[in-house]
Amino acid sequence: MRKLLLASVASMGALAAVSGAAQAQPVKPVAPATIVVHLNGYFQAGFDNVNSTYNNYMGSKLSPMATNGGLRLYPGFDAMTVDGLGYGVQVELRDAFTGGGKGANTSANSGQGTGNIYVRRAYGYIGTPDYGYVRIGQTDGAFTLAQTGVIEQFGDGAQWANNDDMDLYTVPSKAQPGQFIYADVGSLYTTDKVVLISPAVAEPYLGGKLSAIFSYEPNSNGLKAGYGLNCAVANNSSPGTCAAVASTNSGSVFNAVARRNTFDFMAQYAVKLGGFDSKIAAGLLNGQPERYTGTYNAAYNLDQLQVFQVGAQTTYKGLFTDGDAMTLGANVKWGQTLDAYAPKPVGARNAFSYIVGGNYVLGPYVIGASFWDSQSAGNYNPSKAGTEARTLSEYGIAAGANYVISKDLSLYAQYMYGHQHQPGNTNMPKPTTGTGSNNNVQMQLVSAGATFKW
């Protein structure tokens, strides 16, 4: 049984690493006066069967059979001074999505090659376990790092959270639900910010630990983003591409999702009682939209971004055998937002979403499932009153299983189903004509493959 327990713990650790879960502490603890340089990685590949409302669209047919694959590299270093001060740099590189080239590798300079690599995360940190850590760079904020109750450690280790996945699985973009119940998404962690991570403080009554995280981002840009063009105002041109732009006189999709002066705060309490290892967390994300100053258009008059979240999860070991582990969790998010954490139009409804899920680990075997449901304004804004419903309803199901061969290799199988409904939504075109509204859009996929990590 001891071997079975060790295998279960190893399975959970391997899947946590596979999922790309955000880490609040240094990746590798090091001894004083030493430095450790590393180049870790992740590779996943598999076969998929994908079906959706848009597999047949305006006379074109999408093959349901496809492959998936993704590569990530994690270069960086961790170090410690002789006095015990830790510091380091962590980077996440990914292979880019490119146009179909029938196997040809076109020029990478044009951004169309099959081997392009780009920066997803890149940050430096400094601190100690006793006094906390400071991060600065393109990294996860409080809302992501302390997200609790969203169970992802089964199947491909991400399910709906990874905004690479739906494209990776070749699901048509219009068929992809755009939920915001997951906080570990690129719209939050690919921005430059400073993050303060407190030490875990012991609580004497139940023996638990309290911790908190605070982060601040001046604007919704990553490293060097927004500096690609000259910001000077000349010949009456607008400095709309400047990194720190706060308002614009022309509306666009980009302006509708850009934000500035965003901060988030999360507090978490962890405790072990009666065989249950539990956590509960709550917090707030708040930001200002890029202000539209042009001629009145309700689509570009936006509320501030304000989202709350509360989550809880617990793990119990030895439920049926001495070596198994069951984890259950739930999370709720609500506030002034659209999908992907975009500010909502003034006068549109607030959003609400919840998720419940869990996994069961027995030796090298893992099974898990989750269900989420959300309501938001979707495509609605006040100028569309009477033509589009005020609410976009979305939900998704994920179920998966793993066989963890070793800490560096896991086989997975996964099923996902997603549904969207908003009467009159012009962003849901009819498959036969490409115009009008289908009102209901659905997708489902079955995938199986292998995940390697090192």
pLDDT tens track for 175-221: 989 889 999 988 999 999 999 999 999 999 999 999 999 999 999 88
Nearest to 308 by CA among 362, 267, 348, 250: 267
Query: What confidence tier does 234 reach under pLDDT thresholds 50, 70, 90?
Result: low
Q: Which of 409, 453, 369, 448 is nearest to 153 (CA)?
A: 369
pLDDT at 13: 54
- 12 touches 48 (CB < 8 A): no
Q: Who wins on pLDDT, 322 or 263?
A: 263
User: What is the C-alpha separation between 342 and 345, in angstroms, rounded?
Assistant: 10
| Region 401-429 average pLDDT | 94
Confidence (pLDDT) at 268:
97
Residue 236 has a pLDDT of: 58
Region 426-447: mean pLDDT is 89
Query: Taking a C-beta distance cutoff of 8 angstroms, is the pair 78, 88 a contact?
Result: yes
β-strand partners of 208 = none
Sign for the CA dihedral angle at 78, 454, 397, 359 comes to negative
Kindly report the backbone phi and psi dihedral angles of residue 149, in degrees, each rounded to the nearest multiple of 5, phi listed first: 95, -5
Give the tokens for residue 40. Answer: 């870790």
Token representation of residue 104: 């040809």
Q: Which of 9-13, 133-137, 341-345 has the lowest mean pLDDT?
A: 9-13
For the cut 90, the answer to whether the pLDDT of residue 324 exceeds it is yes
Structure confidence at residue 21 (pLDDT): 47
Contact 353, 307 (CB under 8 A): no
User: Cα–Cα–Cα angle for 67, 69, 74, nearest 5°?
Assistant: 175
Task: Classify residue 5 by its DSSP letter.
Answer: H
Contact between residue 100 and residue 112 where contact means Cβ atoms under 8 Å apart: no
Query: Which pairing describes strands 56-57 and 60-61: parallel, antiparallel, or unpaired?
Result: antiparallel
Q: Burial of 277 by CB count in 10 Å (0-12 exposed, 13-18 middle, 19+ buried)?
A: middle
What is the rounded average pLDDT for all residues in the chain? 86
Q: Mean pLDDT over residues 330-347, rounded? A: 94
Torsion on CA atoms 451, 99, 420, 448, rounded to nearest 10: -20
3-state secondary structure of 401: strand
pLDDT at 378: 92
Query: DSSP class of residue 254?
Result: H
Higher model confidence: residue 62 or residue 16? 62
Of 219, 222, 207, which Cα lies nearest the Cα of 262? 219
